[in-house]
Structure 1
Amino acid sequence: MKMLTKMIASFLIPLLLLSSVGTAGASGTIPSPSTHAQSAALIDVTSGRILYSKSGDQELRIASLTKIMTAIVAIEHGKLQDKVKVTASSFAKEGSSLYLKLGEEMTLENMLYGLMLRSGNDAASAIAEHVGGSEEGFVLLMNKKAEEIGLTRSHFMNPHGLDAEGHYSTANDMARLTAYALHNPVFKRIVATENKSAPNPNESWEYSWHNKNKMLRLYEGADGVKTGYTKKAFRCLVSSATRDGQQLAAVTLNDGDDWNDHARMLDFGFKNFPLREIAEKEQPVANTTVVTGRGFQYPLAESEIDSISKKLILTTNRSQNESQNESKANDLSFGLAGRIEMQLNGKFIGSIPVYHKGSYIPPQPEMQEAAFAGIGEITTWAAAWRAVISHLLSP
């Protein structure tokens, strides 16, 4: 098993050191969408490729877009059916609110709906205290998550997004965060919801929340994500939409015409950078005895298709004096043979494993390795390798 661990690590490390996220190179030859935003970004959710960026690395206030991070941290660290109690420090929080009562209890899941649909600041603080032990403890989790998924120009000071010194992000970072979060089925379901009802323990009527995100009603295929506003951040918006199996997410910071700008940005992405299939799962690799372990899709402009190249990297044979148990990893019940690296104009955009024909191939992960240089890959690959090892060690 020691040798097996080394082999897994040797395959993973190159992926973790390389980030494929970058602004679409072909955008220089395609007219960019016009926006009124101080900063903007458009990302393909499957691949993590930024298709358009306007001052995308400028550090700015992000208002309630903060709650995208709050929600994904709470989902990953909390239990949806846990009861969250409204404490004195979360009660009657300034700004947008669910108007929760002091001492009121609500499931974490319902409170997340209130957080994302109505942007409740009271819900944000209550969630933070419940999941993180305190608001400060939760903020530590937020910044840790930012570091894990490669948000290098973001820092959080609170879970709600009220203006605070040292609380900022960028359009590019918010796009990456949103792409990461949209791979989580709970987050994806919540932000796509237009109306939600929840029990109200203090009144005879239920809570009824209508999503503030007008894009859900204005744009065909819209399925998220979050609005934001403060007097210093001005209007901020993250939206997402899915068409023909491709999901895009748009971000604008300080934009007085965000609904129209987002429609133009999303139209730009769907029209010019459709998601194209580069490889299929279990596709034979020419002149070899290996097959691909998963499919690979990437958003490409028409002019970029011929610029895709593939490089097959096979693992080297291990030492002859392996133990019997270690050499079992070499037989066809395991079968990992190496990987294929995908490149666009000579730049790495992603990688897929290859296996010996007839060997066990683990389930295909939901998140492509191309998308994120941090925890996204680790989580996905850990699940895949658990499946491999479980199969290998089964009687």
Structure 2
Amino acid sequence: MRVRKRLCGVLVVFLFIQLLLLPVAEVRANAGPPNISAESAALIDVASGRILYSKNGDKKMRIASLTKTMTAIVAIEMGQLKDEVTVPPEAVGVEGSSIYLKKNEKLTLEELLYGLMLRSGNDAAVTVATHVGGSVPGFVYLMNEKAALIGMTHTNFTNPHGLDDSNMHYSTAEDMALLSAYALRNPVFRQIVSTKVKDISWEGEEYNRRLLNKNKLLHLYNGADGVKTGYTKLAKRCLASSATRDGRQLAAITLNAPDDWNDSAEMLDWGFRHFAMKEFVQYGETIQPEPAVTLKEGVQLVTTNAFRYPLKPEEIPDVTKRMVMSESVVTEKMNGQIIGFLQFHFRDQMIGQVPLKVQVDTPTWANTNEDTGADFWQQFWNLMAGGLFRA
């Protein structure tokens, strides 16, 4: 009897544990979008530029100091990091966050960029803008020009710092995600925004400025490596964040987010959990042509780069590929030329294309010297002397 009771007890516990586990597995398999506080948000895969998640992502919003992402990348691309920059009078005492620049103080552009991105110095923003653009309006023109080139179609900048000076300074979460991904592909920008502590010069003082990055996510989230905090009375709390895990980098934008740190962590977790990079072709892979294309003997088509794209497992069958060629007959005279593309489509949208290069198979005995005939006979006689004529 006791043995039977013990067996029954063990069975009940076992079944109870199984019942507890089943709902957890079901929730993970059918997990919905992130539950976040932000009024507007977007999540992007940095390498591909695919928007993985959006909440009111195309709504025009104030973006506060997330503006400085654009200020920084324009300065990095158009300025010289080692340039000595003199602080102009108009930069001194700008309201809001500051690194306490003094009139006519000299710093390098690189030092100013650390002050801009780690401590969100509005005085640094004006100094950078004046140096790179010749004036603040001149630099703002460059900012909007870059926004158009990136594809930020719902964005307009009126200043380099993001202070609430006009209803005409705005962007969207999706546009800012595109900007963050673009900037994070730049190694200088990536190094700056992932830095937790930086010392820069402080002219006239006995010690350097010590800059502590305001982005707490660098300490709170595993793999966090950027990007920028932001706050004004009208924009409320804004955050651009990024993280890299297993070689994949995601970036998240939250605008007017009372719980921004947790919002970002939730979004990044969701993106890493539900999307994986699917490789469709490798670099140098031989591609079989479509029936309408004829390859002469000894000629093949190879890819000039790989193509990978972030997808949910259930989305993979929705990716199709097609070959677009400029020639219907491919001969050895086209060796080394790009004559077409292998295009990839996800549902009704093209997500990428890989150039196809003509490659001619070369016999193992041949080489690239012009006097191929002489080289052939030299190899022939060497072979004969070392083989057939040996006693």
What band does the TM-score fall into relative to the shorter chain?
Answer: 0.7 to 0.9
- Whether the 8 Å CA contact 1:36–1:261 is kept in 2: the answer is yes
The DSSP-based 3-state class of the residue aligned with 2:90 is coil
User: Per-residue deviation at 1:92?
Assistant: 1.1
- Whether the 8 Å CA contact 1:241–1:248 is kept in 2: the answer is yes
- Whether the 8 Å CA contact 1:290–1:337 is kept in 2: the answer is no
Say whether 1:281 aligns with 2:283.
Answer: yes
Segment of structure 1 superposing worse, 95-104 or 338-347: 338-347
Q: Among residues 323, 343, 361, which one is paired with 1:312 in the alignment?
A: 323
Match of 1:246 in 2: 248
Where does structure 2 lack aligned partners over 5 or more consecutive residues?
1-29, 290-294, 362-391
Say whether 1:36 aligns with 2:44.
Answer: no
TM-score (norm 2): 0.80
- Whether the 8 Å CA contact 2:119–2:212 is kept in 1: the answer is yes
- Whether the 8 Å CA contact 1:342–1:349 is kept in 2: the answer is yes
User: Per-residue deviation at 1:53?
Assistant: 0.2
User: Per-residue deviation at 1:307?
Assistant: 1.6
User: Per-residue deviation at 1:358?
Assistant: 4.7
Structure-1 separation of matches of 2:141 and 2:318: 42
Runs of 4+ in 1 over 2 A off after TM superposition: none
Match of 1:159 in 2: 160
Per-residue CA deviation, residues 218-244 of structure 1 (Å, 9 max, x unaligned), is 100000000000000000000000011
The DSSP-based 3-state class of the residue aligned with 1:357 is strand
Match of 1:234 in 2: 236
Structure-2 separation of matches of 1:127 and 1:292: 42
Match of 2:47 in 1: 46
- Whether the 8 Å CA contact 2:334–2:358 is kept in 1: the answer is no
Match of 1:63 in 2: 64
Structure-2 separation of matches of 1:187 and 1:275: 24
Structure-2 separation of matches of 1:246 and 1:139: 32
Where does structure 1 lack aligned partners over 5 or more consecutive residues?
1-28, 319-326, 360-395
Where does 1:341-352 land on structure 2 (aligned, <5 Å)?
341-352=343-354
The DSSP-based 3-state class of the residue aligned with 1:290 is strand
Q: Considering only aligned residues, what root-mean-square deviation do their CA atoms show, in Å?
A: 1.7
Q: Which amino acid in 1 is paired with 2:58?
A: D
Q: Which amino acid in 2 is paired with 1:218?
A: L
Aligned length: 321
Per-residue CA deviation, residues 35-71 of structure 1 (Å, 9 max, x unaligned), is 1001000000000000000000000100000000000
| Structure with larger Rg | 2
Greater relative contact order (Cα < 8 A, sep 6+): 1
Match of 1:336 in 2: 338
Say whether 1:356 aligns with 2:390.
Answer: no
Per-residue CA deviation, residues 286-327 of structure 1 (Å, 9 max, x unaligned), is 356201110011100010112211111111379xxxxxxxx9
Per-residue CA deviation, residues 326-375 of structure 1 (Å, 9 max, x unaligned), is x99x632x32121011011242111110111259xxxxxxxxxxxxxxxx
- Whether the 8 Å CA contact 2:37–2:263 is kept in 1: the answer is yes
Structure-2 separation of matches of 1:347 and 1:234: 35
Per-residue CA deviation, residues 179-221 of structure 1 (Å, 9 max, x unaligned), is 1111111111110111101122211101110100011001000
The DSSP-based 3-state class of the residue aligned with 2:252 is strand
Structure-2 separation of matches of 1:310 and 1:347: 11
User: Per-residue deviation at 1:164?
Assistant: 2.2
Say whether 1:115 aligns with 2:116.
Answer: yes
Per-residue CA deviation, residues 249-303 of structure 1 (Å, 9 max, x unaligned), is 0000000100011000000000101222121101111356201110011100010
Where does 1:105-184 land on structure 2 (aligned, <5 Å)?
105-165=106-166, 166-184=168-186
Match of 2:90 in 1: 89
Match of 2:211 in 1: 209
User: Per-residue deviation at 1:75?
Assistant: 0.6
Structure-2 separation of matches of 1:77 and 1:236: 27
TM-score (norm 1): 0.79
Q: Among residues 301, 307, 323, which one is paired with 1:290 in the alignment?
A: 301
Identity percentage of aligned residues: 53
Structure-1 separation of matches of 2:317 and 2:359: 28
Q: Which amino acid in 2 is paired with 1:69?
A: M
